[in-house]
Structure 1
Amino acid sequence: MTTRHVLAGLDGSPRSESAAMWAAAEARRLGAPLRLLHVWPWLSGENLDRAEPGDLRPAALDALARVADRIRLAHPDLTVETAVRPDDPVDGLVAEAREQELLVLGSRGLGGFAGLLVGSVSLAVAARATVPTVLVRETAPVPDGDTAPPGEVVVGLDSGEPAEAVLAFAFAQARRRGAALRAVHGWEPLPAWAYAGMMPPPVDVPGQERTEAALLAEHLAEHRGRYPDVPVVEDVRLGGGTRAVLDAAAGAELVVVGRRERRHHLGMLLGPVAHAVLHHSTTPVAVVPHP
């Protein structure tokens, strides 16, 4: 049986090193080995045992070794492996992540709505990876599970189409962290049209909110039975899914969103909520693929 690793992509940037440290803490929680990977097309694909002119492999291996040593010092009981792959960064990361437990990448930016956090490689990988992919910004704290009080795990849900894989991942993450799970559903009344154009919808907001809350509770019931030790906060908000998740994410330990495994003529795409949360959240975000 193949061992499933937590895989962290490293590109030599401080943000990717922060992601590797976050991945190490996660691997320790999972009881899984950690694999540090650098992917770059200019790495020589031949003569792997010796450097050639212009070959970046020795420098990449040295950088990986430095990060690996830092992780081993912090987690002496953790198995840490390093590897380089000569490939397009997106293709290589997606390929290496198959059959692994989790993929962790760094993100960048200013945070909030003042700037964007995600680079083109991280965004493309999150849209294509077949395993849960976590994006971690450079300043994200790495929680110490032995001393730090647990925060919340926030999961964004559509009460009309909840994804079982997303819920299962979020509940398992909350249990491993000893954290509460906040299940967030943001909703908006559908607009009405008249001769004068779009008008505010004639909606009984309290009544509709009760309906949305009942749907959310119904979808959570099975997983609450499977994870009776996980405290659950059911959080229904008026204002749309993106704003609801981003507001709930402030101070959380992890945000979990889903991504449908469906193709577009432009390739694999993230949904609007996942795309916005990845760009604007300052909290680590896990993107979980689902049918």
Structure 2
Amino acid sequence: MSSYLLAGIDGSPESTAAARWAAHEAVRRGVPLRLVHAQTWLDDIHADPSQPADVRALTTRMVSDATEEIRGLQHGLEVRAELIGGGDPVEVLAEAATKSEMLVVGSRGIGGFEGLVVGSFGLALAGRCDVPLVLVHADDSARPAAPDGAEVVLGIDTRDPAGDVIDFAFREAERRGAVLHAVHGWTPPPAWGYAGWISPQVEAGQFAAIEAELLGNALTGWRAKYPDVVVVEDCRVGSGASAVVDTGSDACLVVVGRRRRPHRIGMRLGPVAHAVLHHTQAPVAVVPHD
């Protein structure tokens, strides 16, 4: 894997915030930043479509302006930019990202519907990208540094903990000097609902203790690998999605996993990642795993 970060830009406020966020991350890691715009026939809505040269000129200017802005914000950062065409922008960016450490894009691009936290493009890319993908909102460029008390929130499935996802979250917390808040949501046995959620306290305590032990076991080896990272273990009743959303609103980064799938049909994001992307305002990293 090459040592650079990739940011997708399209001229929208979200993509500008994504480029700024990615620039801070590139400086933090000491790697170059590559800005990429995936061209489509919808480019440059203010251009005259009967004048192809006008369309190309506006697109080129947008990329150039974004590059100069980032260079002005982060002096000394190596920034490269390019236009890539030739197909579906999701496939183009996913392919371009294969040799990068991380792909960063805006949560919604031009043409996104108001009120949606993440647009269809972001969701499709999250389900396709083979490197960690971070989706950034328009107001998230102020979040790149981890202020005192900031957390990296990790959603974890204790029955099937994904090492790639956990390792990514620990590394990001270490880089930021942030607390790692590991969250696991668990659902009581169905019979509890049938009984009106009335059950002996000893049973509730036993189930809670088992779930907490599973969470601790899933993190033990990673605590040893990253001894300087302060970890908060948070095991709570409820869905995994709601647990991550509830704790992630003030995080500097929220980390969820996405299982790689060999086929291109069907749902490519799990229910937790899908819900977190739609309902979390913090930057969200979707990390693929086997």
Report TM bin, short chain.
0.7 to 0.9
Counterparts of 1:157 and 1:68, CA distance in 2:
37
Q: How does 1:70-89 map to 2 (within 5 A)?
A: 70-86=69-85, 87-89=87-89
Counterparts of 2:93 and 2:213, CA distance in 1:
40
| Pairwise CA distance, 1:198 | 4.9
User: Residue 40 of structure 1 aligns with which residue?
Assistant: 39
Counterparts of 2:115 and 2:204, CA distance in 1:
33
Q: Hey, which of these two has a bigger chunk of strand by percent?
A: 1
2:118 aligned partner, one-letter code: V
Counterparts of 1:289 and 1:141, CA distance in 2:
24
User: Residue 156 of structure 1 aligns with which residue?
Assistant: 155
User: Residue 234 of structure 1 aligns with which residue?
Assistant: 233
Counterparts of 2:150 and 2:120, CA distance in 1:
29
Deviations 1:14-45 (A, max 9, x none): 1110111001111111111101110023399x
- Range moving further from structure 2, 240-249 or 262-271: 262-271
Equivalent position SS for 1:269: coil
User: Residue 187 of structure 2 aligns with which residue?
Assistant: 188
User: Residue 277 of structure 1 aligns with which residue?
Assistant: 276
Equivalent position SS for 1:98: helix
Counterparts of 1:69 and 1:15, CA distance in 2:
17
Q: How does 1:111-260 map to 2 (within 5 A)?
A: 115-143=115-143, 145=145, 148-149=147-148, 151-192=150-191, 198-200=194-196, 204-260=203-259
User: Residue 97 of structure 1 aligns with which residue?
Assistant: 97
State the Cα RMSD in Å: 2.4
User: Residue 49 of structure 1 aligns with which residue?
Assistant: none
Task: Assess if the C-alpha contact under 8 Å between 1:43 and 1:85 holds in 2.
Answer: no
Counterparts of 1:266 and 1:223, CA distance in 2:
34
Task: Assess if the C-alpha contact under 8 Å between 1:163 and 1:290 holds in 2.
Answer: yes
Equivalent position SS for 2:278: helix
Equivalent position SS for 2:127: helix
Q: Hey, which of these two has a bigger chunk of helix by percent?
A: 2
| Pairwise CA distance, 1:199 | 4.9
Counterparts of 1:191 and 1:150, CA distance in 2:
37
Equivalent position SS for 1:192: helix
User: Residue 54 of structure 1 aligns with which residue?
Assistant: 52
| Pairwise CA distance, 1:263 | 4.3
TM-score, scaled to structure 2:
0.88
| Pairwise CA distance, 1:236 | 0.5
| Pairwise CA distance, 1:231 | 0.3
Counterparts of 1:140 and 1:170, CA distance in 2:
19
Task: Assess if the C-alpha contact under 8 Å between 1:128 and 1:268 holds in 2.
Answer: no
User: Residue 47 of structure 1 aligns with which residue?
Assistant: none
Deviations 1:30-85 (A, max 9, x none): 111101110023399xxxxxxx9425332222111111111111111211000111
Deviations 1:132-170 (A, max 9, x none): 00001111243464x943610000001111100000000
- Range moving further from structure 2, 100-109 or 166-175: 100-109
Counterparts of 2:4 and 2:138, CA distance in 1:
22
2:52 aligned partner, one-letter code: G
| Pairwise CA distance, 1:189 | 1.2
Counterparts of 1:268 and 1:28, CA distance in 2:
35
- Identity percentage of aligned residues: 48
Any stretches of 5+ residues in structure 2 without a counterpart?
44-49
| Pairwise CA distance, 1:108 | 3.8
Counterparts of 1:265 and 1:126, CA distance in 2:
13
Counterparts of 2:220 and 2:73, CA distance in 1:
39
